Amino acid sequence: MGVSGNTSKVSSVVAALCILVYIAAIAFGTTRIVMDIRERRNMAHNEFSDLLDRASSSAVFLGFMSEAYQDSIRDFIGLSHTLLGIIITSATNEYAFERQPGSGIVWTGRSPRLRVGFGISSDSLNLPLRIEGQRNVTVRAAYSFIDFGFFQSVLRDTLLAVLGALIIAFATLLVEFSIRKKPGHSKSETADIPLEPFSQGFKPVEIPTFAANESKMSSKSTEEGNPQGLYSPRSNIGWESYTHDRLASELHRCSSFEQDLTFVVMEFRENIPMYRQFADETVNFFYMKDLIFEQGTNGISIILPNMGLEQGIAKCEEFRSLLISKLPETFEGRSGLCIGLTSRAGRLVDAKRLMLEAFSALDKAIEDEVSSVVAFKSDPEKYREFVKQNVSGD
């Protein structure tokens, strides 16, 4: 009776542990799948945002729907992790691009439609583009929110865990049955089978940085006037040589819609080793990657459309405070960040003039040890008088 009671207790404990393993394995597998779906949806929205930047920037430099423009869009889709197909709709036509034939686009006659099915969605991925000379240009995208390879591996791991618990339970029942068949034994000698805890290790993603010599090489390439692609490999933002043309384009657009525009130039008093990190933080804060450009070896310029000077000053102050508090070991002290900015302020001013004003403000910010943010404030009345005099003089 004593041996039978002991074995029954052991069996009950093992059965309870196996049930816990079943529940833990299923719950852990479900959690991993749900988290992966959430991460892939976020990744899809981020890639869609980058696609809009690529489509908008390529239209400025390559021409809307030129052969080079279409190749740029196809290259982006081919390198995407989640986007399966996109449709760019203009006022006169629809253009379809997909990663593989039939993966993201279905055709109804000559009209392309986004594919929707198990693991494929297109919800909320539909935004307009800012393209000069084009109206009502929108981009829609279908994306995959389930990684089937990862899905299968999770199911396999969950199944192995459940099978392992079943084997342990079956082995325990066999041992108990054999003990009951041999009443002369007072003890059951069984080997302990350790259960490894289920865990998921996540390695932090390190942001690649560039050493000083690599920064100099990238800067030298820019000075030689040989930019490759839309973004500089040194910083993953726009090349410095693109600043003037893009600013002129945005000025023309804002003038047409009677909107304000602020141009910002920021620079550290001394060279910093983490320029790529500085650029990443700038993009994360201002969101408009296609309107952010390199400036020299340790500076960045930003175009802020539809934003007045006062709002631009507040935005720059907020960014500077955030940068220093978030990365004090890199950006505080000897590498003080100085910012100069100016705005269109209702003037028909060209890009060259606006850049001159911003750089003049930046020079004063670098010289001033108290104020690190300096704005060039124009007087609209004096400006109109100046233009009138110049026109009458001509």
**Percent of the chain residues topping a pLDDT of 70:** 77
Structure tokens at 119: 């693991």
Would you say 120 and 104 are in contact if contact means Cβ atoms under 8 Å apart?
Answer: yes
Q: Could you give the count of Cα atoms lying within 13 Å of 349 in the half-sphere of its Cβ?
A: 27
Q: If DSSP codes are grouped into helix, strand and coil, which group holds residue 156?
A: helix
* Distance in angstroms (rounded) separating the CA atoms of residues 350 and 141: 36
pLDDT at residue 143 greater than cutoff 80:
yes
Cα separations in angstroms, 163 against 28, 38, 167, 326: 16, 29, 6, 48
Q: For residue 141, give every residue at least 6 positions away whose Cβ sits within 8 Å of its Cβ, in sequence order, or none.
A: 44, 48, 51, 83, 85, 86, 87, 104, 114, 122, 125, 126
pLDDT at residue 223 greater than cutoff 70:
no
User: Residue for token digits 């020299």?
Assistant: 296
> Apex CA 260: angle with CA 258 and CA 261, to 5°?
130
* pLDDT tens by residue, 18-37: 888 878 888 888 888 888 88
* pLDDT tens by residue, 40-95: 888 888 888 888 888 888 777 888 888 888 888 888 888 888 888 888 887 778 88
pLDDT at residue 98 greater than cutoff 80:
yes
Domain with CATH 3.30.70.270 in the chain: 212-393
pLDDT of residue 64: 80
Confidence of residue 261 (pLDDT cuts 50, 70, 90): very high
Q: If DSSP codes are grouped into helix, strand and coil, which group holds residue 240?
A: helix
Mean pLDDT of 287-295: 90
Q: If DSSP codes are grouped into helix, strand and coil, which group holds residue 301?
A: strand
* Distance in angstroms (rounded) separating the CA atoms of residues 35 and 289: 27
Confidence of residue 157 (pLDDT cuts 50, 70, 90): confident
Q: If DSSP codes are grouped into helix, strand and coil, which group holds residue 226?
A: coil
* Distance in angstroms (rounded) separating the CA atoms of residues 70 and 217: 30
H helices present in the chain, as ranges: 2-62, 67-79, 148-181, 212-223, 243-256, 275-286, 309-326, 328-331, 351-367, 380-393
Third-level CATH fold of 212-393:
Alpha-Beta Plaits (3.30.70)
pLDDT at residue 265 greater than cutoff 90:
yes
pLDDT of residue 211: 35
- The amino acid that residue 321 corresponds to is S
Cα separations in angstroms, 305 against 56, 237, 311: 14, 18, 11
* Distance in angstroms (rounded) separating the CA atoms of residues 244 and 153: 51
pLDDT at residue 195 greater than cutoff 50:
no
User: Which uninterrupted H or E stretch holds 265?
Assistant: strand 261-268
pLDDT: is 187 or 237 the higher one? Answer: 237
* Distance in angstroms (rounded) separating the CA atoms of residues 177 and 173: 6
The highest-confidence range among 85-89, 167-171, 180-184, 308-312, by mean pLDDT, is 308-312
Mean pLDDT of 371-391: 74
pLDDT: is 10 or 316 the higher one? Answer: 316
pLDDT: is 386 or 288 the higher one? Answer: 288
pLDDT: is 71 or 124 the higher one? Answer: 71
